[in-house]
């Protein structure tokens, strides 16, 4: 028999295009030479839960279909046994025989017979004067009882049948199976280099409506002849144009002494053609298990609009509203100090913050200056810090990315330890890119003509001021319809993303598009937003009670530095303190037990790449949700802190 590796190599070539073979679904002529068995005085109806079975030794009782060899001009008795639910024979029940002999010279002695005391109904089969095949079935008057079948081959004396059965453990939906007998000198391996070698005989079987594999019979095979058997299975759909599975077996036994040979061909699903580019939509919940460092930044951002003082200087030890401003929560000034070089200016800020007015007084002064804006210009929903913070979390919880995923190389085909066909993607042959980030921010959209469109905010990585998010990967195709993507790194900086959400989603919603000296800029940076709230001279005067002096200068200089460098300092802090060192701080893979489903086109039109082998059109599906492919994501916030979150994706081929 052919080794698993050789079968896998043959499948990988994908070179076998099966020709259409002659086949008919039309019933053949029934040849009947006898009468119906005499009716018993008290016939029995076939009982519920009874079973029709073949009779040994001619056939195995467990078989649904038994193969039978008939010599030309001879007779063979066939038997069907009816047993009740307890395994006891049913006597005097009517069994009907239906034949489909086509043009083969076969006849039966009767079209029906009654069972005897052993529950056996008999029919005599007679072979004609030419070789051929036919089918015969036996059934009862109870439609719930499954019929049994015989596959009959008529051969001349000292010749016999070459019978081919099939196994298929894959997921491909197959219908016709084209079968070829080659001389035994043709090996399965030799078909790799020359798939068009001449077959001795060709035939076709079809998978029935229940999914049962057919039996294909080649009658009248001479003694001493052995064959290599190849089988090409085509799809149940797509008009049979797509070859979805293949099998081959060589080194088979020869016909000897007129005894039939049975061989089994294992049909293995073809790996589909996955090479190409796919437009992919990812959805993530980036909130799960956030560490305190990230929660601190989100909380600080949430206080920006309605408590800008605490946003800048922190909440202090005894805040008025601990829920909105938790005790000792840092402000932007604390982050700024972390990034200032040692020197007089840094020392002045630290000293000021440690002074009696450094926290509470300055916070109140900032809020007093911002009060006019809060009362007259801010949206109504801005007044609730908790609401803003929860909205930021909700935006990160329903975080969508649109991008591409490209498979640059065909997988290397092999067979795993269980005999299943797999395809290993070459190292780093896959690549993905995140192009657009789509956030849902519904605040301020209540009165919009299209609230859903208003709430959808699509921005690119350049707009978010983060590096392009890319990654390379490899993985494995598992059979005809499953994909595993191994864990790999994406160049996403979670901290920088968080600041990007603040500046490009939250701030424009709060402060609008009238920032800057001429009130004509979108308020999409922290500097511009703070400029709406704070005038440094007024702040210094309000905080110190003077219009000059050392303390006045400290406050004014601090304010000016904050307004000029706020975004950069916050981004620096988030990009370095909210992610681990190194480059592998955003790791992503498909779950080990939840592989991505590969889906073929709904219809195949014209020619396609890799024809006639299957083509991947979709990586999962958008709906229903259970057909989304799954992501496992690990975010490393520090060398000792990480969080695992979930995601989904689906994609459609675009070339």
Boundaries of every domain in the chain: 51-155, 159-269, 276-285+395-493+587-653, 307-383+498-578
The model's pLDDT over 4-15, given as tens digits with 9 standing for 90+, comes to 444 443 443 333
The per-residue pLDDT for 338 is: 64
> Over pLDDT 90: what percentage of the chain?
44
- From residue 599, alpha-carbon distances to 283, 350, 402 in Å are 20, 61, 20
The pLDDT confidence band at residue 23, using thresholds 50, 70 and 90, is very low
Q: Check the CA dihedral 615-621-627-632 and report its sign.
A: positive
* CATH class held by domain 159-269: mainly beta
The per-residue pLDDT for 386 is: 55
First-to-last alpha carbon distance for the chain, in angstroms, is 40
The pLDDT confidence band at residue 482, using thresholds 50, 70 and 90, is very high
Q: Which residue would you say has higher pLDDT here, 27 or 143?
A: 143
The model's pLDDT over 59-70, given as tens digits with 9 standing for 90+, comes to 899 888 999 999
Element (H, E) at 262: strand 261-269
Domain over 51-155 is classified CATH 3.40.640.10 = no
| Least confident interval from 6-20, 271-285, 384-398, 453-467 | 6-20
The model's pLDDT over 94-110, given as tens digits with 9 standing for 90+, comes to 999 999 999 999 999 99
The model's pLDDT over 141-177, given as tens digits with 9 standing for 90+, comes to 999 999 999 999 999 999 999 999 999 988 888 999 9
Strand, helix or coil for residue 222? strand
The listed range with the strongest mean pLDDT (249-258, 285-294, 382-391) is 249-258
How would DSSP label each residue in 419-472? S-EEEEPPTT-EEEEEEEEEEE--TT-TTSSSHHHHHEEEEETTTTT-PPEEEE
The per-residue pLDDT for 339 is: 56
The per-residue pLDDT for 11 is: 42
With tokens 């590796």, the residue in question is: 5
Q: Please give the Cα distance from 635 to 480 (Å, whole number).
A: 32
The two tokens of residue 523 are 């308020």
Q: Which residue would you say has higher pLDDT here, 305 or 501?
A: 501
Cβ contacts of 304 within 8 Å, gap of 6 or more: 311, 388, 502, 506, 507, 510, 529
Q: For the chain, what is the mean pLDDT?
A: 83
pLDDT at 600 over 70: yes
Q: Please give the Cα distance from 230 to 188 (Å, whole number).
A: 8
With tokens 């009238």, the residue in question is: 514
51-155 matches 159-269 in fold? yes
Number of Cβ atoms within 10 Å of the Cβ of 504: 22
């Amino acid at each position: 028999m052919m080794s698993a590796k050789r079968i896998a190599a043959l499948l990988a070539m994908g070179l076998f295009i099966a020709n259409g073979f002659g086949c008919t679904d039309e019933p053949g002529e029934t040849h009947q030479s006898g009468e119906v068995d005499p009716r018993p005085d008290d016939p029995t109806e076939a009982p519920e839960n009874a079973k029709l079975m073949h009779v040994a030794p001619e056939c195995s009782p467990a078989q649904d279909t038994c193969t039978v060899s008939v010599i030309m001009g001879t007779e063979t008795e066939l038997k069907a046994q009816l047993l009740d639910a307890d395994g006891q024979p049913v006597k005097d029940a009517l069994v009907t025989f239906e034949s489909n002999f086509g043009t083969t010279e076969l006849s039966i002695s009767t079209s029906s017979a009654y069972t005897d005391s052993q529950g056996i109904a008999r029919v005599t089969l007679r072979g004609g004067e030419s070789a051929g095949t036919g089918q015969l079935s036996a059934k009862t008057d109870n439609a719930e009882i499954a019929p049994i079948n015989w596959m009959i081959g008529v051969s001349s004396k000292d010749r016999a049948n070459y019978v081919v059965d099939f196994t298929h453990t894959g997921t491909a939906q197959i219908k016709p199976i084209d079968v070829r007998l080659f001389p035994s000198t043709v090996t399965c391996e030799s078909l790799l280099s020359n798939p068009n070698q001449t077959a001795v005989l060709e035939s076709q079987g079809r998978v029935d409506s229940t999914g049962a594999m057919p039996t294909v019979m080649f009658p009248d095979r001479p003694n001493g002849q052995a064959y290599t058997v190849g089988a090409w299975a085509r799809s149940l759909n797509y008009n049979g144009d797509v070859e979805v599975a293949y099998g081959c077996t060589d080194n088979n036994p020869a016909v000897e002494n007129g005894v039939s040979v049975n061989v089994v061909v294992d049909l293995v699903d073809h790996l589909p053609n996955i090479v190409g580019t796919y437009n992919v939509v990812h959805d993530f919940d980036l909130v799960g298990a956030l560490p305190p460092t990230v929660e601190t930044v989100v909380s600080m951002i949430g206080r920006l609009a309605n408590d800008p003082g605490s946003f800048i200087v922190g909440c202090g030890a005894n805040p008025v509203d601990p829920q909105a401003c938790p005790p000792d929560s840092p402000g932007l000034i604390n982050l700024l100090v972390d990034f200032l070089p040692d020197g007089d200016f840094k020392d002045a800020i630290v000293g000021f913050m440690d002074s009696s007015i450094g926290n509470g007084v300055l916070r109140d002064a900032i809020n007093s200056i911002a009060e006019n804006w809060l009362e007259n210009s801010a949206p109504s929903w801005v007044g609730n810090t908790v609401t803003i913070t929860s909205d930021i979390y909700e935006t990160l919880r329903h975080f969508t990315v649109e991008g591409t995923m490209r498979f640059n190389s065909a997988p290397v085909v092999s067979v795993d330890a269980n005999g299943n066909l797999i395809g290993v993607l070459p190292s780093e042959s896959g690549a993905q890119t995140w192009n657009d980030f789509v956030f849902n921010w519904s605040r301020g959209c209540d009165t919009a003509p299209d609230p859903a469109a208003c709430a959808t905010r699509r921005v690119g990585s350049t707009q978010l001021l983060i590096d392009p998010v890319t990654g390379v990967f490899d993985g494995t195709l598992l059979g005809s319809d499953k994909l595993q993507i191994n864990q790999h790194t994406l160049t996403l900086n979670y901290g920088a993303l968080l600041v990007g959400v603040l500046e490009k989603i939250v701030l424009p919603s709060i402060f609008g598009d009238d920032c800057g000296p001429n009130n004509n800029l979108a308020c999409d940076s922290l500097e511009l937003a703070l400029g709406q709230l704070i005038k440094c001279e007024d702040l210094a005067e309000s905080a110190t009670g003077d219009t000059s002096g050392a303390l006045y200068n400290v406050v004014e200089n601090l304010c000016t530095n904050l307004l000029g460098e706020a975004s950069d300092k916050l981004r620096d802090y988030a990009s370095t303190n909210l992610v681990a060192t190194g480059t592998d701080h955003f790791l992503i893979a498909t779950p080990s037990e939840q592989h991505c489903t590969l889906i073929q086109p709904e219809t195949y039109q014209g020619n396609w790449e890799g024809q006639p082998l299957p083509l991947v059109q979709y990586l999962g599906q958008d709906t229903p949700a259970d057909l989304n492919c799954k992501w496992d994501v690990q975010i490393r916030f520090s060398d000792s802190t990480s969080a695992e979150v979930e995601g989904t994706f689906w994609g459609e081929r675009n070339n």
